């Protein structure tokens, strides 16, 4: 199971952290599969998601249009969490600069968590 332990939202965006506790990871196979391999999970357009219908429906119910997630790992490669970004106002394109930024942020968070 996974839980959201920290959340930051912009003005006008509802907080979801309290409802994201003890979630069965089997419902989010496409996300967990990528994260467990140390890869970035990305979906620019949630409506095109086909491999994880339960996950897609959950995201659509929350109004998510794009999602990106990166594992947070220790120096020896053990995954201890994930940094997940959900965009609800508009679809967001994922490029190399975004990838570099989220990698750096995940490394910084890892330093605080261990």
Give dist(CA 25, CA 2) in Å, integer: 7
pTM greater than the 0.85 cutoff? no
pLDDT band at 104 (very low <50, low <70, confident <90, very high): very high
The mean pLDDT value of the chain amounts to: 88
Task: State yes or no: pLDDT of 27 exceeds 80.
Answer: no
The answer to whether 49 and 55 have CB atoms below 8 angstroms apart is yes
Task: State yes or no: pLDDT of 35 exceeds 90.
Answer: yes
The answer to whether 99 and 63 have CB atoms below 8 angstroms apart is no
Helix (H, G, I), strand (E, B) or coil at 13: coil
Calculate mean pLDDT across residues 8-17.
84
Query: pLDDT digits over 50-94, tens only?
Result: 888 888 898 898 899 999 999 999 988 899 999 999 999 889 988
**39 vs 51, more confident:** 39
């Amino acid at each position: 199971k996974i839980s959201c332990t920290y959340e930051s939202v912009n003005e006008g965006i509802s907080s979801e952290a309290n409802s994201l506790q003890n979630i069965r990871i089997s419902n989010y196979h496409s996300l967990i599969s990528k994260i467990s391999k140390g890869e970035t999970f990305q979906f620019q357009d949630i409506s095109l998601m086909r491999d994880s219908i339960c996950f897609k429906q959950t995201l659509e119910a929350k109004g998510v249009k794009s999602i990106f997630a990166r594992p947070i790992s220790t120096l020896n490669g053990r995954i201890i969490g994930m940094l997940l970004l959900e965009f609800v106002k508009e679809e967001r394109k994922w490029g190399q600069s975004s990838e570099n930024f989220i990698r750096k942020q995940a490394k910084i968070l890892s330093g605080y968590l261990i």
